[in-house]
Structure 1
Amino acid sequence: MTVIRPDRSLPNRASRWWLACLLLGALLALLPLWSQLQAQEPGERTGLVLTINGAIGPATMDYVMRGIEQAEEAQAEVLILRMDTPGGLMESMRTMIKAILASEVPVVSYVAPEGARAASAGTYILYGSHVAAMAPATHLGSATPVQMGGLPGSEEPAEDPAPDAGADDGTDADDSAEDSKRRGSTAMERKVLEDAVSYIRGLAERHGRNADWAERAVREAVNLGASDALEQNVIDLVAVNLDDLVQQLDGRTVRLSIGERRLDTEGLALNRVEADWRTRLLSVLTDPNVAYFLMIIGFYGIIFEMSNPGALVPGVIGAICLILALFAFQVLSVNYAGLALILLGLAFIVGEAFMPSFGMLGIGGIIAFVVGSIILMDGSHSEISLPTIGGTALVAAGFILWTITRFIGLRKRHPVTGMEQMTHESVEALEDFTAHEGEYWGHVRLSGERWRAVSAAPVQAGQLLQVVEVDGLTVRVTAS
C-alpha cells in the first residue's frame, strides 16, 4: 500500500527563515546596549561647538536641541553655536531660543567665519544666547518678520494720505508716513511686527543688551557690523577665532535659568559636533523647493488613487510625500510627523497581508516606517538607535517577503473549485470509446459523476485520462 505524505519542506524552510529574521532583528536591537557598556567617565573639561550653516528650520532646531542635551550630559563648560545664517522659520527659532534659555550649560552664539552673517532669525538667536560674539567683517540685523511667499507691507494702503498733511513742517508728514510703515500697513502685519518687537526686546533686557537697536532691527531691518555692534552693546565681544573666543570667555559671568555662573575656559578643549547624516537628510526634506514638490506629489498621488481605486502606487507615494511636506512646512511637529509615518507604514505592512499588492504596500510601508523612525529621533526624547530601527525594519521586510512568497506559492497551485479545477482532474473511462466523425466518444467518471467525453485517440475501458477542456456537459480528454 502506497502512502502519500504531504510535502512540508516549504513551510519548514519558511519557518526557519522567519525565525532567523527575528533573531537577527533582536540582535541588531540589542547592539546599543554594548555602546552603553563602553561609556566612560567624563575626563577633562570640554566645550562643544555646533555649526549652523544655512537657513534655520526643523532640522537645525533638532540639531541644536540634541547638542544642548549632549552638552548637559557631558557637563560641558560651554556650548558654542558657530553661525552663518540668512534667517529661517520663526517657530524653529523660538523653539531653539527656549532650549537655550533653559539650558544648564552656557550657550555662546558666535557669528563666524569672517564674511558670515546672523540675519533675521540669527539676530534673535544672538540676543537669546548667554553670550553674543562675532568675528570681524561679519554683520547682523534685518530681523523684520516676513511671510513665506511675500514681504510685509507689499500691499498698497487703502487710501493715500492727504496732500496737505504736514505742509507747514516738511518733516511731520515724512515722520508720520515712516512711523506708519514701521508698524505695518495691515492689522495682521502689525500683530506680527509688535509680537516680534516685544519678543526681541525681552531677550535683550534679559541679557542687558541694547533693546532699542534690537527694535530698530525688527521695525526698520537695519544692520550692524561686528565693531559697531560691540560699541553699541548689541553683542558682548568680538573674537578673531575660536581660540580667541575661549580666551575672552574666561572669567565672564553669565546668567542661566538656574542662576549666575562664572565661566572657566582656560585651557578648555573644544569638541566639534558636526551635523550627522540624519540632520543633513532632514535639511534636504525641509528645503522649501523640496517641500513644495513633496506637497505637489502628495496631493496628486492622493487624487490619482481616488480616481483609480486599487492602483495603490500613487496612493502609497502620495501619502508618504504629503506627511513629509507637512513636516517640512512645520504643520506637523517632528514628533507627530514621525509618529504619523510610523503608523502609516505599519498600516501599509498589515495591508500587504490582507490585500496583496505584490510588494508595493509592503515596500511603501517599510520606507514610511524607517523615515518616520528617523524623524521621531528628536532632542526631547532619548534617541532611538539606528540598529533598533534597522532590526525592526528587517523583521517587517522578512514578514512581507514571507507573505509574498506564500502568495506566489498559492498562485502556482491548481484551482480546487469551479471549471478551472476540472481541467486538472484525472478521469477513468467507463467504456470503450466509439468513433464518430474522426473523434472518439464515450463516458468517463469525473469526481464521482458520469460525464460525456470526447478524445482525439481511441480509448479503452478503464483507461486513465486527463481532462483538457470542458464544453458544457462534455469534457475533452487525452491520455495521461
Structure 2
Amino acid sequence: MGERRQWLAVSLLLFVVVCCFLVPASAVHSNEEQGDGPLVYYIPVEQTVERGLEAFMKRSFETAIAEGATHLVLEMDTPGGAVDAAGDIATLIQETDIPVITFVRSKAISAGAYIALNTDQIIMTPRATMGSAKVIDGAGNAAEEKTQSYWLAEMRGAAELNGRDPVYAAAMADERIDLPELGAPAGELLTLTADQALEIDYAEAIVTSREELLAHLGLEDAVEREMEITFAEQLARFVTHPIVIPILLSVGSLGLVLELYSPGFGIPGIMGISALLLFFFGHMFAGFAGLEALILFIVGFILILVEIFVPGFGIFGLLGVGALIGGMLLASFSTTLMLISLAIAFVVTAIAALFIFRYFGQRGPMKRVIHTDSTSTEKGYISNVTRSELIGAKGETLTPLRPSGSAIFGKERLDVVTEGSYIGQGKQVEIVYTAGSRIVVREVKE
C-alpha cells in the first residue's frame, strides 16, 4: 500500500504540473463588451525584467495586434533586470507599427528606463521615478568596461529614437556625467522625478489615472482591454529567473542523489523530479525549449527511473543525468547562465550530500532515506548452526593445536581452536564455547 501511495503522489504531481502549463496562454480583461472607438490594450510591465517577461510581452503584442489594437500602453512598475531581455523587448517595441506608450505608475528603473525610452511617449504619475540604469553583474558589481560602453550607446540610441536629449539617458547609466541641476552631480546616477522628466521632455504628461491618460492621448471614447498574466506565466517567470534556476537545479540533483541511496521511490525522488519538472516546463512555457529538448528530458527521466528500480551499476543513471543536462542546455535561453547554474548545483549537491550522509545518515528521518540495515548474529543471521549441546564435552586432540587443529569427541571428529595457547597432540581437551562453525576448546589438566 505504501508504494502505491507514493506512485499516486507522483502521478498527481505530474498531473498538476501539466495542468498548470496547459492553462490557456491568453487572458484578456475588457471593460467594455463592444465599441466602435479605438482599441487600447494595457500590458503590465512589473517586477524584474527577465526572459519570462519578454515571452509574456511577445504574446501580449501578438494578441493585441491580432485583435486590432490601435494603441499599446505599458503600465510600468519595475526595478529593472536583465539587459539582454530588455534589449529584446526594445526590439519588439521598435518593430511594432502602432503607437506604444509607457505609463510609469511607480518606477521605471534601470532596464525599465531603457524600455520606456524606446516607446513613443512616456507618461508618469506624480510620484513616479525613472533612471538609475547602470549595468551590474550577478555579484552586484559594475560590469566590465566593454559592457558599460555598449549599454551607454544603447541608452543614448533609445533616447534619440524619439527625439529626446541623449545626455540625460547617458547620465542614468554613467555617474561621471555632472548634472547638479537635476540632483545628479558627478559620482551619482541620474534618477528623474515626474516633474523633472516633464521639464526636460523625457515625459509628455503627468496624470493620476487611466482616464486622464486617455484624455491626454485624445482617446476618451476608446475601448479598453487589459492583458492579464496567467498563473502559468507567473510560474514561468519565477522559474526562469537567473537566481531561481540554480536553486531548482540544486534541489533536483540533491533529491535524485538521495533517492539513489534509498530503496524504492520516496520523498527525495519526488522532490528532485518536481524541481526538474518546474525548471523544464517553465522554460517550455516561456518559449525557450523546443521538441528536441523535451525528448532529451523525457529520455533522461526514464533512464533515471530505470536506475532507481532496476539497478544497473550506475550506467542508466549516468546516461539519464547526461540526457537531462543536454535537455537543460537546449532549453536554456543562455548557455553561459545554464553552465554556471549547473556548476553551482553540482557544488551545492556535493556539499549537502556529504553533510547529510555524515551527520544525519544514522539518525532522525534520514533513516528512511539511507539504507543502513545489516545482517548480524544479534538479529539472527548466522552462517552455520551453533551446536550449543557440545559445550562441556571432553575429547582428545588428533593434531597439535597451533591454535587450530582437529580433535575427536566420542566417535565425532571436529575442527577446533584453542583460546590462544598451544596444545600438543594426544592431550585431553574440553569444549568451552561454540558459535556457528567455531568450536573453542581448553586443555584438561590432570
TM-score range for the pair, normalised by the shorter chain length: 0.5 to 0.7
CA distance in 1, matches of 2:173, 2:223: 37
User: Is 1:144 aligned with 2:144?
Assistant: no
CA distance in 1, matches of 2:274, 2:290: 11
Instruction: Tell me which amino acid in the other structure corresponds to 1:268.
Output: A
CA displacement, residues 22-43 of structure 1 (integer Å, 9 cap, x when unaligned): xxxxxxx9x99xxxxxxx9996
Q: State the shift of 1:302 in Å.
A: 6.0
Matched residue, 2:152? 197
Seq. identity, %: 25
Query: Closer, same or farther in 2 for the Cα pair 1:61/1:325, shift >3 Å?
Result: same
**2:39–2:225 contact (8 Å) kept in structure 1:** yes
**1:71–1:105 contact (8 Å) kept in structure 2:** no
Instruction: Tell me which amino acid in the other structure corresponds to 1:125.
Output: I
Q: State the shift of 1:266 in Å.
A: 4.0
Matched residue, 1:84? 77
Matched residue, 1:273? 227
Matched residue, 1:347? 299
User: Is 1:247 aligned with 2:199?
Assistant: no
CA displacement, residues 22-74 of structure 1 (integer Å, 9 cap, x when unaligned): xxxxxxx9x99xxxxxxx99965311111222111222112211111111101
Partner of 2:289, secondary structure, is helix
Query: Closer, same or farther in 2 for the Cα pair 1:352/1:201, shift >3 Å?
Result: closer
CA displacement, residues 202-236 of structure 1 (integer Å, 9 cap, x when unaligned): 11111101210000000122111011101112222
Partner of 1:79, secondary structure, is strand
CA distance in 2, matches of 1:132, 1:108: 6
**2:55–2:287 contact (8 Å) kept in structure 1:** no
Instruction: Tell me which amino acid in the other structure corresponds to 1:342.
Output: L
**1:68–1:105 contact (8 Å) kept in structure 2:** no
CA distance in 1, matches of 2:308, 2:170: 61
User: Is 1:61 aligned with 2:16?
Assistant: no
Q: State the shift of 1:342 in Å.
A: 2.5
CA distance in 1, matches of 2:227, 2:286: 21
CA distance in 1, matches of 2:88, 2:264: 42
User: Is 1:123 aligned with 2:113?
Assistant: yes
Q: State the shift of 1:292 in Å.
A: 3.8
Query: Closer, same or farther in 2 for the Cα pair 1:222/1:322, shift >3 Å?
Result: farther
CA distance in 1, matches of 2:307, 2:276: 23
Alignment of 1:386-405 (within 5 A): none
Aligned residues: 276
**2:48–2:81 contact (8 Å) kept in structure 1:** yes
CA displacement, residues 328-361 of structure 1 (integer Å, 9 cap, x when unaligned): 8x9x994443646622454267659988949xx9
Q: State the shift of 1:241 in Å.
A: 1.4
Query: Closer, same or farther in 2 for the Cα pair 1:203/1:347, shift >3 Å?
Result: same
Partner of 1:337, secondary structure, is coil
Q: State the shift of 1:322 in Å.
A: 5.5
| Aligned mate of 1:111, from 99, 104, 109 | 104
Q: State the shift of 1:308 in Å.
A: 8.8
**1:53–1:83 contact (8 Å) kept in structure 2:** yes
CA distance in 1, matches of 2:158, 2:277: 34
Query: TM-score of the superposition, structure 2-length normalised?
Result: 0.53
**1:324–1:337 contact (8 Å) kept in structure 2:** no
Q: State the shift of 1:296 in Å.
A: 1.6
Query: Closer, same or farther in 2 for the Cα pair 1:324/1:273, shift >3 Å?
Result: same
Matched residue, 2:194? 226
Alignment of 1:376-395 (within 5 A): none
Instruction: Tell me which amino acid in the other structure corresponds to 1:132.
Output: I
Instruction: Tell me which amino acid in the other structure corresponds to 1:214.
Output: A
Q: State the shift of 1:284 in Å.
A: 2.7
Q: State the shift of 1:122 in Å.
A: 0.8
User: Is 1:295 aligned with 2:249?
Assistant: yes
| Aligned mate of 1:286, from 240, 247, 259 | 240
| Aligned mate of 2:164, from 200, 205, 209 | 209
Instruction: Tell me which amino acid in the other structure corresponds to 2:51.
Output: P
| Aligned mate of 1:95, from 88, 92, 96 | 88
Partner of 2:49, secondary structure, is coil
**1:72–1:104 contact (8 Å) kept in structure 2:** no
Instruction: Tell me which amino acid in the other structure corresponds to 2:162.
Output: H
Alignment of 1:423-442 (within 5 A): none
Instruction: Tell me which amino acid in the other structure corresponds to 1:48.
Output: Y
Query: Closer, same or farther in 2 for the Cα pair 1:310/1:43, shift >3 Å?
Result: farther
Structure 2 unaligned blocks of 5 or more: 1-21, 26-32, 176-188, 311-315, 334-446
Please report the RMSD computed on the Cα atoms of aligned residues, expressed in angstroms: 4.3
CA displacement, residues 246-286 of structure 1 (integer Å, 9 cap, x when unaligned): 12123xxxxxxxxxxxxxx3411111111111221113323
Q: State the shift of 1:244 in Å.
A: 1.2
Matched residue, 1:176? none
CA distance in 1, matches of 2:127, 2:95: 31
**2:264–2:309 contact (8 Å) kept in structure 1:** no
Q: State the shift of 1:80 in Å.
A: 0.5
Instruction: Tell me which amino acid in the other structure corresponds to 2:128.
Output: T
Q: State the shift of 1:309 in Å.
A: 12
Q: State the shift of 1:319 in Å.
A: 7.0
Instruction: Tell me which amino acid in the other structure corresponds to 2:53.
Output: T
